[in-house]
């Protein structure tokens, strides 16, 4: 379901996802996943709608689109492709440059509590991230961005988790609000594996053990 408060497409706690046999899954991951949780086509369709919302809210401003690596690179690339298409085919357009920053805070499926920041030269207006878990990492990044005195900062996240560990942070643009499951695919990783998976999937316990650091 969707709501009008910017929560995004809400996936219920009861949602079990889809059988792996219904989709094209790389053979080397078949035994490492439980279910397909968000199919690639649904991700793209929702991302296209987010691009329209960003154009509506940000039109007229020059944007530095900041990709949070590594997990955000697929969402970032697809989101920008849709924004570029709107720039070509509508009466309004957004002048846009891009930059990249890498944040590292996870080992296995747990946050280490330590956030390493790598990169970022000209940070100004829009940040794109793939998943908001507790919100601690994004709050740290926003504190960093404020040192550059941007005119505004807007955050787009493909996923936001409903979790008791949350610090209460909410991004400005949300693709899907999801239960507190550890998901992989669409550039989201488990110790660098599963980034080459198109769909967002729930990792199995066997997969966690197989790729454990």
User: Catalytic residue numbers?
Assistant: 133
3-state secondary structure of 159: strand
Give the number of other Cβ atoms within 10 Å of residue 84's Cβ.
Answer: 14
Burial of 90 (0-12, 13-18, 19+ CB in 10 A): exposed
Phi, psi of 141 (to 5 degrees): -65, -40
Give the whole-angstrom CA distance, residue 50 versus residue 80: 10
Beta strands in 60-146 (DSSP E): 63-69, 96-107, 110-118, 126-132
Phi, psi of 162 (to 5 degrees): -85, 110
* Type and span of the H or E element at 161: strand 154-161
- Picking from 117, 151, 150, 115, the residue whose alpha carbon sits closest to that of residue 135 is 115
Phi, psi of 134 (to 5 degrees): -80, -25
């Amino acid at each position: 379901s969707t709501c009008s408060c910017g929560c995004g497409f809400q996936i219920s706690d009861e949602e079990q996802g889809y059988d792996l046999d219904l989709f094209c899954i790389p053979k080397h991951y078949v035994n490492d996943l439980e279910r397909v949780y968000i199919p690639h086509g649904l991700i793209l369709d929702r991302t296209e709608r987010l691009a329209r919302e960003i154009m509506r809210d940000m039109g007229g401003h020059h944007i530095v689109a900041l990709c949070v690596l590594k997990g955000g690179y697929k969402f970032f690339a697809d989101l920008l492709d849709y924004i570029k298409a709107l720039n070509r085919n509508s009466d309004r357009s957004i002048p846009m440059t891009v930059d990249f920053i890498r944040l590292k805070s996870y080992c296995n499926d747990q946050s280490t509590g330590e956030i390493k920041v790598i990169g970022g030269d000209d940070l100004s207006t829009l940040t794109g991230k793939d998943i908001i878990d507790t919100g601690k990492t994004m709050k740290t990044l926003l504190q960093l961005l404020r040192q550059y005195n941007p005119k505004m900062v807007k955050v787009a996240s493909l996923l936001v988790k409903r979790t008791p560990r949350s610090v209460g942070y909410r991004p400005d643009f949300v693709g899907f609000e999801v239960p507190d499951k550890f998901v992989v695919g669409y550039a989201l990783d488990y110790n660098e594996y599963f980034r080459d998976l198109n769909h967002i999937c729930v990792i199995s316990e066997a997969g966690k053990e197989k790729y454990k650091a």
